[in-house]
Chains A and B, each alone.
Chain A
Amino acid sequence: MIETKTLLPGVTLRCCRENRFKQGCLSFQLVRPMTKGESARNALIPAVLLRGTKRCSDLRAITEHLDELYGASVSPLVRRVGDYQTTGLYCGFMDDRFALPGDQVLAPMIRFLEEILLDFPTEGGGFLPAFVESEKKNLISTIESELNDKRAYAMGKLLKTMCRADTFGLPRLGETEDVAAIDPVSLLRHYRTILRESPIEIFYAGSASAGAVAAYLSPLLSRLDRSCGKLAPQTPFTTCPGQDATETMEVSQGKLCMGFVTPVTNRDPEFPAMQVLNTIFGAGMTSKLFLNVRERLSLCYSVGSSYYGTKGIITVSAGIDFDKERLTKEEILRQLDACRRGEISEEELNAGKEAILSSLRSTHDSPGAIEGYYATAALSGMNLTPESYMAAVECVNAAQVVAAARTVTLHSTYFLKGESQ
């Protein structure tokens, strides 16, 4: 299903050949350790690269070129995968078979990717200062705009607190002051370093063969001067004392976030059971949290849990009235306790497993979902294909889910409430 080729030392191409789609996608990711020192620079680089090449000297020229390629898109791709941060580009494009006779999309798309990655304009040994300054402003605005989405903001604050001893507490795009300190010369120097030393993950999903994609990529790769290092393996959550924080702001609804930890990560055999537990506990409209906190007690509209398998962290978030904090917290803990005590019905177990299976089954139904799974699974240390993952989920029994629940402990909480209270 997935063909993997090592094109150069440390450069991996993974291909999923599929004729069912009308579009293809290709991602190019440089894999870095997540550190405070470079996360902002890594986040800024793709945005600066997308401002112009030597030939397409501004944004408009770039967009016009993409318009010619039947509305193809190239966007910055900055991910957090456990202890790693990836930076690069994601291309989406129409399949060649819908182009006018004689036209191609994939081959010129990869040539354009090469142009964006390597043929950028420079000035005084750095990226163009105008590009860097305006993209710094954009990135700062993106980072600060997290405040606009109070749920994401509250969750960011919780993770920052509970993961202050772990890389998971570092924001994916860096912090405002780190962005502000970047200059065009050191940014280019950093880019050249990471292009030379980082493992590179290239993923393609579409109708072309792996051989054809590798051939299209070879001019790009032949221009890289490589001396690739090795990344330290992923680590589980690094603990620190828990904290309960409250912040006041001009909002009409409170946001309660709770952070739990478990030693079980996606590298462990208990991972599928933990994933099932998370679904039963708080993911979706049949979970204990939805049915009790929302439906039975009408405490909120939104409530749900997420499990971060790379680290072994479970978070819960709920939008509630300011005076319902204690009541909601107690109910959430009561539902987790119910899981620990084994109060899990046959229906809940099956529904939880089915939800995971269904989402895994449809992984292969869209190029974006295929890329999202395979381009991060190997990096996260998870050694499962969707098929082996499904087989493992199918075997999970209630006792394993209860055992998983018993490893989960509350670490920290964060509550965002209104000024009038």
Chain B
Amino acid sequence: MTAFQYPELDETLYRETLENGLTVLVVPKKGFTKKLAYFVTDYGSIHTDFRLDGKEYHAPAGVAHFLEHKIFDLPGDRDVSAEFAALGAIVNAFTSYDMTAYYFSCTDHFDECLKLLLEFVSIPYFTEESVEKERGIIDQEIGMNEDSPDSVVFDRLMEAMYAVHPIRVPILGTSKTIREITPEVLYTCHRAFYTPGNMLLCVIGDVDPEAVADDARLVLGSEKKEVGVKLCPWQENMTCLTPEVEGSMEVAMPTFNLAFKCEPLTGGDAAVRQEMVADLAAEALFGESSELYLRLYEEGIIDSSFGGGFETVDGCAMLLCSGDSDDPRAVREALLRQAEKIAAEGLQENAFLRMKRSALGRRIRGLDSFDSTCFRLCAYHFSDFDYFRFPEIYRSIGSEEIRAFLDRTVRAERCSLSVIYPVNKEASL
């Protein structure tokens, strides 16, 4: 494997792309007992349409998440969780809009755990009976989300903002769409996206990088298989579909999500730079050290639940904030006015430098968390960027970029507001 040194961060990253197409990243951490491994596919809930072996497929919404649940089944009634547990490891998985990750953490038996992870994710095994049973469990998960104001307010916002991008459909799909999922659908999606060429193995802990790559070669073999071609014909207009949506639930006070549509990121350095610019812009506009945050907090329009940042998904991006407020529309108006002000006046240079120092410090602190570092390494890898290079990107960003970003993005037509009011207290539009 090739070693890359980052003396400024006191980190070393080992990287290699194997013959079968799998990328392996290892961050050795001497002296730590915990070891964490992520086996990730560049495939999430939005990738329902794809081409494989010259044929086009249109899978039901929720299939990536359904597949994530069913991957844990192995032939011969083997119980993957129990096998990890016997090794003292905890295994889990998550599905996002654009990636699916399987991971375990352990302190001992790392080698056996890693082989087990690679094995169970790469072997599909689905039966009519087990798929039917899973439907019941996932239906309960959907029900749980329907009772969660945070999920509901966000899902409705996505539906209001996007006309065509599949982010407008919840990651889990709906009770209706998951009825269309069959073992055959799962096998096809697995064949399309769970091939080494579409995947990444990322390990953090006191491990030998070469041994990690050897395990991957051993379990996955050297054959390079065809990867499904994602069909992403999502031409989104920068104007939101609907400016406001509302509903009611059993909540204590109105809760809102508010976002401004941004241009989707491309890839490589430019994309990461764009993301860090957007993060700093969010900080300058409504972060805790901003003029606006202080004013809205002191006026009681927002409280400590308020927060937000830049969110990016394959094919779309947004500046998002959320919180509880008795007057979410006032938050929106204040954001629009403040962005106009910053666009006109620019940022003070010393305030901008302080913001950069703070953002950099927080990212360095974040490296102590194996989970967040592993997640970031994976997410950035799929956008062709090496995450540990973040300090140099920060240094190169100027305040003018922040001003220009806010000027372009924080505009009324790009904004949607989603509010959940307490039952019987809906405001009239």
Contact = CB atoms under 8 A, between A and B. Distances in A.
Contacts of A97: 10
Contact of B85 (A63, A285, A302, A367): A285
Contacts of B249: 250
A354 B88 contact: yes
A253 B140 CA distance: 7
Interface stretch (A142-150, A156-164, A259-267): A142-150
A20 B32 contact: yes
- The residue in B9, B89, B249 that gathers the most chain A C-beta atoms within 10 A of its C-beta is B249
Interface in B93-109: 105-108
A52 to B, nearest CB: 10
Contacts of B150: 148
Given A252-B143, A361-B107, A365-B32, A70 B360 contact: yes
A54 interface: no
Interface stretch (B179-187, B229-237, B362-370): B362-370
A292 B289 CA distance: 50
Given A20-B31, A294-B137, A358-B106, A251 B147 contact: yes
B146 to A, nearest CB: 5
Nearest to B362: A71
Interface in B239-267: 249-253, 255
Interface in B337-393: 351, 354-355, 357-362, 364-365, 367-370
Nearest to A66: B358
Interface in A350-396: 350-351, 354-355, 357-358, 361-362, 364-367
B294 to A, nearest CB: 4
B144 A253 contact: yes
Nearest to A99: B361
A195 interface: no
Given A58-B294, A138-B304, A145 B252 contact: yes
Interface in A51-104: 58-60, 63-64, 66-72, 92-94, 97-98
B91 interface: yes
Contacts of A47: 304
Contacts of B255: 148
Contacts, number: 193
B288 A59 contact: yes
A296 to B, nearest CB: 9
A359 to B, nearest CB: 8
A71 B360 contact: yes
A250 B143 CA distance: 12
Given A64-B289, A141-B324, A355-B88, A70 B250 contact: no
A145 B305 contact: yes
B365 A137 contact: no
A300 B142 CA distance: 11
Contacts of B133: 298
Interface in B389-429: 423
B75 interface: no
Contacts of A58: 294, 298
Nearest to B81: A285
A134 B140 contact: no
Contacts of A250: 249-250, 423
Nearest to B422: A147
A320 interface: yes
B369 A149 contact: no
Nearest to B420: A148
Interface in A328-353: 347, 350-351
B137 A22 contact: no
Interface residues of A, number: 67
B252 A320 contact: no
A286 B141 CA distance: 19
A308 interface: no
B107 A64 contact: no
Nearest to A143: B252
B38 to A, nearest CB: 17
B364 A284 contact: no
A67 B147 contact: no
A319 interface: yes
A249 interface: yes
Contacts of B81: 285-286
Nearest to B295: A60
A373 to B, nearest CB: 14
Contacts of A285: 81, 85, 90-92
Interface in A278-319: 284-286, 291, 294-295, 298-302, 319
Given A59-B294, A70-B357, A22 B250 contact: no
A286 B82 contact: yes
Interface in B67-97: 79, 81-82, 85-92
A347 B354 CA distance: 54
A39 interface: no
A302 B144 contact: yes
Contacts of A347: 82, 86
Contacts of A364: 33
Contacts of A150: 147-148, 250
24 contacts: A20-B32, A22-B368, A47-B304, A59-B294, A60-B288, A64-B351, A67-B289, A93-B365, A98-B8, A134-B297, A137-B300, A149-B148, A250-B423, A251-B147, A252-B143, A253-B143, A285-B90, A295-B137, A298-B136, A300-B140, A351-B86, A362-B105, A362-B107, A367-B368
Interface of A: 20-23, 47, 58-60, 63-64, 66-72, 92-94, 97-98, 130, 134, 137-138, 141-142, 144-150, 249-253, 284-286, 291, 294-295, 298-302, 319-321, 347, 350-351, 354-355, 357-358, 361-362, 364-367
Counting from the closest, the 7 A-B pairs by CB-CB distance are A70-B361, A354-B88, A298-B136, A351-B85, A71-B361, A144-B252, A71-B358
Interface of B: 8-10, 29-34, 79, 81-82, 85-92, 105-108, 133-134, 136-138, 140-141, 143-144, 146-150, 249-253, 255, 287-291, 293-294, 297-298, 300, 303-305, 324, 351, 354-355, 357-362, 364-365, 367-370, 423
